[in-house]
A and B are shown apart, each in its own frame.
Chain A
Amino acid sequence: MVPVRVRDHAYLMTRDINPDQRTDAPTVDVLVNRCIAAAFEALRSPRSLFTDFQRGHLGQIYKSMRTTHETIRDLLRDENKSPRSVDAIPIARLQLETLYSICLVIEQSPYLDIYLKHSGSRFM
């Protein structure tokens, strides 16, 4: 694959970020739940890009992201008292991989079938 280089893809910031500004976890939870509910509801409406079955499955992918979000929150609840919290990082990777996959199936919907077939190929 072509190497992804920082110099090609970095965004040069023009405004500072306040590092002391805090966001409460419950605030994030509310926003997460709203986004997932909105995406799930949107997917109830037919679109030519996806079949009913595909839309149903995409909706489940969004719902699954909420479960993973809750897992990450649970792991981080112990704060720095528990080394188990470190495992929140590999679980966050699942969420980012889902974003890449959603971007791909939106552009090339046959990949949603391939995703499903891969799971189905285990049932032989």
Chain B
Amino acid sequence: MAAECRNLPVITAELDKQRDALDGLRRLAGVSEEEMATIRNEQLDEPLPPGMSAKAIPRFPTPGVALRMIREPDRKRMLSRLYFEYQFLCSFVHFSPHPRTFKGFFDDREPFGRLFTTGHLEEMFQKEIAGPAIWVDFLSIVQSAAEMVTIYPSDIELRRAVTEAWAVLAERTIMGRAVWEFRAKKLLGVI
């Protein structure tokens, strides 16, 4: 924004007022002077200060890249299985007919929606939208907490909370049962 507005004195003055606070946030996030200068060099063509070497911040990996980097075999197996769910969810984010078709089905102002009975629409909603959304959400939270067991193995409360949640997940969903068998069961010591 600063680059786009550099010829606008009013906006530039406002941005200057925020500079100290933003610089504080940058330092809090651990971005060094070298890393900041490198970004400015790459993005704005500003020369690096004399004697300073470029130091780029690597990109945080996307799930596909992270999956390749994961070393623990059971964890890798779990994330490989969940990659199918991830690809399904991505189809609703990238340009694809999925979200538009379902939005048409569930909109009673659209002709598509009138092709189905109320019961059929409700069943479709549960199976295609509510079910995947809530179960992926639930599983992601529970397993994210369960992964902390590897760092805090003697935390009884943590173990109890995730074990109780897994009792529901592993019985109600195919995806949950696969993750339970591949990873969570052994992680929580339920053999």
Q: Do the two chains bind?
A: yes
With a CB–CB cut-off of 8 A, which chain A residues contact B17?
Answer: none
**A1-29 interface bits toward B, Cβ cutoff 8 Å, 1 = contact, 0 = none:** 11010101111010101000101010110
A107 and B84 contacting across the interface, CB-CB below 8 Å: no
Find residues 75-93 in chain A having any chain B CB closer than 8 Å to their own CB: 75-76, 79-83, 85-93
- Count of interface residues, chain A, beta-carbon cutoff 8 Å: 79
With a CB–CB cut-off of 8 A, which chain B residues contact A107?
Answer: 69-72, 75
B26 and A120 contacting across the interface, CB-CB below 8 Å: yes
Across the interface, A4 reaches (CB within 8 A) one of B83, B89, B125, B173, namely: B83
Interface SS of chain A: helix, strand, loop or mixed?
A: helix
CB distance from B190 to the nearest CB of A (A): 15
Across the interface, A38 reaches (CB within 8 A) one of B145, B150, B181, namely: B145
Tier of interface size on chain B: 35 or more
B168 and A83 contacting across the interface, CB-CB below 8 Å: no
A123 and B80 contacting across the interface, CB-CB below 8 Å: no
A114 and B145 contacting across the interface, CB-CB below 8 Å: no
With a CB–CB cut-off of 8 A, which chain B residues contact A13?
Answer: 174, 177-178
**B78-120 interface bits toward A, Cβ cutoff 8 Å, 1 = contact, 0 = none:** 0111111110011011000001001110111000000000000
Interface assignment of B30: CB less than 8 Å from any CB of chain A: yes
CB distance from B26 to the nearest CB of A (A): 4
B31 and A117 contacting across the interface, CB-CB below 8 Å: yes
CB distance from B96 to the nearest CB of A (A): 11
A2 and B58 contacting across the interface, CB-CB below 8 Å: no
Across the interface, A96 reaches (CB within 8 A) one of B82, B147, B158, B164, namely: B82
With a CB–CB cut-off of 8 A, which chain B residues contact A25?
Answer: 134
Across the interface, B25 reaches (CB within 8 A) one of A92, A118, A123, namely: A123
With a CB–CB cut-off of 8 A, which chain B residues contact A68?
Answer: 137
Task: Give 9 A-B pairs besides A35-B162, A89-B129, A120-B28 with Cβ atoms closer than 8 angstroms.
Answer: A38-B157, A85-B130, A90-B99, A92-B89, A96-B140, A98-B140, A107-B70, A120-B26, A120-B31
14 A-B residue pairs with Cβ-Cβ distance under 8 Å, sorted by A, are A6-B84, A9-B83, A31-B161, A35-B141, A38-B157, A38-B162, A42-B158, A83-B107, A85-B130, A86-B103, A117-B30, A119-B29, A121-B26, A123-B29
- Chain A interface residues (CB < 8 Å from chain B): 1-2, 4, 6, 8-11, 13, 15, 17, 21, 23, 25, 27-28, 31-32, 34-39, 41-43, 45, 47, 49-50, 62, 65-66, 68-69, 72-73, 75-76, 79-83, 85-93, 95-104, 106-108, 111, 113-121, 123-124
